[in-house]
Amino acid sequence: MSKNLSYLAGRKGVDKTLFEELGIAAETGTPSIEKMEALRKEFLVGKANVFGTATFYDFLKPENQGKKVYICNGSACLCAGTQPELKEKLQNHFKEEEIGEMCCLGRCHENAAFHISGKNYSGKAIDHIGEIHKNKTVITDRYHIAATGTPILTQKFPGVEAHYKTLKDCLEKPIGALQEELKISGLRGRGGAGFPMAIKLESCRNTPAEQRFIVCNADEGDPGAYSDRYLLEHQPHAVLMGMIIAGYLADASVGVLYIRAEYPESIDVIENAIQELYKHNFVGENIFDSGFSFNFKVIKAQGAYICGEETALLSSIEGQRPEVRVRPPYPAQQGLFNLPTVVNNVETLANLPWIMQHGGKAFATIGNGKSTGTKLISLDGYFNKPGIYEVDMGTPLRVVVDDLGGGFRKPVKAMHVGGPLGGLVPLSKINDLMIDFESFAKNGFLLGHASIVCIPEDFPILLYMEHLFEFTAHESCGKCFPCRLGSTRGKEMIEKARTSEYKIDRALMDDLLETLEIGSLCMLGGGLPLPVKNALHYFEDELKSYFVPNA
């Protein structure tokens, strides 16, 4: 059925999508029944399809209708402990039913984050809530941005004309030569999976089709991560040129940027940058008289972590409920509207201009082994110098913590690296890890997005485990039982142990984790067991009172 719906959605293409129309209809809250019925008829889909889609997203679901302000409930803000006081201050200006929650606003560097009137705020902004609410005042956040090693993604922007000379040079070269440079570079996906980008592009190009797509996955939902937000807002042209080059290599003519609604400022910056490109004729039809055409489409997401999974993202664009698809076929062969599609995250695409300018070998010499190039790191508010740092792959984690982050401002017992599905790293392991895929995997962790959320000494590990299960239960697409039910059962078990005399059977917990790990369709359910297992292993003494003693 979903395959047929993909073909049906392809009739209108990306120019007008059911997903966007639902968002427009929900400007004052959830879409009305009358509007959904009209859209159902226009797009030739069933009532259940439209209703199922509209009620899935945080910004569209009926229970959030009438909300005027949203509080961030992400991991970094939770551990920082800023949100209870934040809510108290908001209650002086809003009714209880007007206050909602969302995750995560990407303000992990200073916490106390909230969303109002289509804009994000954090830090001490709450002290100006009266002015913000009345005059729609915008307060721009600030954080440290620096690089150690080779500045690829943090280099100074030379201006549009100078920057896009690299694109002009690329369009004058054979595609095969550029593809070879990309292979030599060893660039792997920066969203967490680490899959070689060159293989995706080549596979997409070699799949027969009349049209192909490049999709930028800018739905950076990992609590603690804001590196993609940095690129979208501070290096937009690196991302956009990367998409155009990817389009040239894959023979794709349309680039879609799917940007999370929780990043309103990113959407504005990208749209302005695209307008600038059209003004200079650096994008559109027959770019630089090369015969290659490429156009952009920006889609504002509506609040769903699962859309960071590439197949759920594609279903979302098509106006379907964003459920994970069974693979194969992979998106490179059958993606958006069942046409060949390359989906890469923001940071991956932003590396392409540098590789094409300096060569694949220059990129490959940076880094460590199969982890070539650099990596952006997001440091949260527990560091003395929180912010975005670019490091060569292979940089010791100790350097990141002490030299770049300036150490911790308060005692910390663990760092959650790589988002909610990443590894829970105790301080005792800092000296064993380097910022690369292999080092983290070898030590039983996951580099992922390379965001770092600190867990302070006085924050119960059991409560953090409960938070991870609850997050997964809330964000699950619901398609597979292990994720949908397993995360809920895990949350219930831990909450019961935390609030009563109930003791968790370790064998039952291990069985639950195994079921999630091997039975889930995607990494949301399949990745959750990793940090939970890390917690059980490294914090056994703290947790043992909540479990049935060994016989």
For domain 367-456, which architecture applies? Answer: Roll (3.10)
Sorting pLDDT into bands at 50, 70 and 90, what band is 118?
confident
Q: How far is CA 74 from the centre of its chain?
A: 13
Averaged pLDDT, 107-113: 95
Task: Write down the pLDDT at residue 221.
Answer: 86
Is residue 217 scored above 90 in pLDDT?
yes
Percentage of residues in the chain with pLDDT exceeding 70?
98
Compute the average pLDDT of residues 367-379: 93
The pLDDT score that the predictor gives to residue 375 is: 96
Task: Please report the pLDDT score of residue 368 as a whole number.
Answer: 86
Q: Is residue 71 within a helix (H) or strand (E), and if so which, with residue range?
A: strand 69-72
The answer, yes or no, to whether residue 551 has pLDDT greater than 70, is no
Q: Where residue 1 falls among pLDDT bands split at 50, 70, 90?
A: very low
Q: What confidence score (pLDDT) does residue 10 get?
A: 81
pLDDT category, 28, cuts 50, 70, 90?
low
Q: What is the pLDDT of residue 404?
A: 97
Per-residue pLDDT, 2 = 67
Q: What is the CATH number of domain 67-135?
A: 3.40.30.10
Give the three-state DSSP class for 414.
strand
User: What's the mean pLDDT in 2-23?
Assistant: 84
Cα angle: 127, vertex 132, 134; to 5 degrees: 125
Report residue 490 CA to chain centroid gap: 24
Give the pLDDT of residue 369: 86
Res. 27: pLDDT tops 70? no
What lies within 8 Å, CB to CB, of 235 at 6+ separation is 153, 154, 157, 350
Domain residue spans of the chain: 67-135, 144-364, 367-456, 461-546
| pLDDT at residue 67, as a whole number | 87
Q: What pLDDT shows up at residue 511?
A: 96
d(CA 292, CA 283): 9
Q: Could you list the beta-strand ranges (E) of 429-532.
A: 451-456
- What does the DSSP assignment read for 86-137? HHHHHTTTS-GGGEEEES--S-TTT---EEETTEEE-GGGGGGHHHHHHH--
Rg of the chain in Å (alpha carbons): 23
Amino acid present at 12: K
More confident site: 102 or 513: 513
Distance CA 265, CA 113 (A): 14
pLDDT (average), residues 357-374 = 94
pLDDT tens, position by position, 428-478? 999 999 999 999 999 999 998 899 999 999 999 999 999 999 999 999 999
pLDDT given at position 515: 96
Given this model, what pLDDT does residue 468 score? 97
Q: How confident is the model over 207-218, as a mean pLDDT?
A: 96
Contact present, 466 and 491 (Cβ < 8 Å): yes
Q: With pLDDT > 90 as the criterion, what percentage of the chain qualifies? A: 81
Report whether pLDDT(11) > 90. Answer: no
Tell me what the mean pLDDT of segment 362-371 comes to. 92
User: pLDDT tens digits for 282-341?
Assistant: 999 999 999 999 999 999 999 899 999 999 999 999 999 999 998 899 999 999 999 999
Query: Which architecture characterizes domain 461-546 according to CATH?
Result: Up-down Bundle (1.20)
* Token pair belonging to 193: 């999976």
Q: Is 144-364 CATH 3.40.50.11540?
A: yes
pLDDT at 278 over 80: yes
Give the model confidence (pLDDT) of 232-246 as tens digits.
999 999 999 999 999
Mean pLDDT over the full length of the chain: 93
Residue 58: predicted pLDDT: 87
* Residue 463: predicted pLDDT: 97
Residue 137: pLDDT above 50? yes
Confidence (pLDDT) at 6:
85
3-state secondary structure of 155: coil
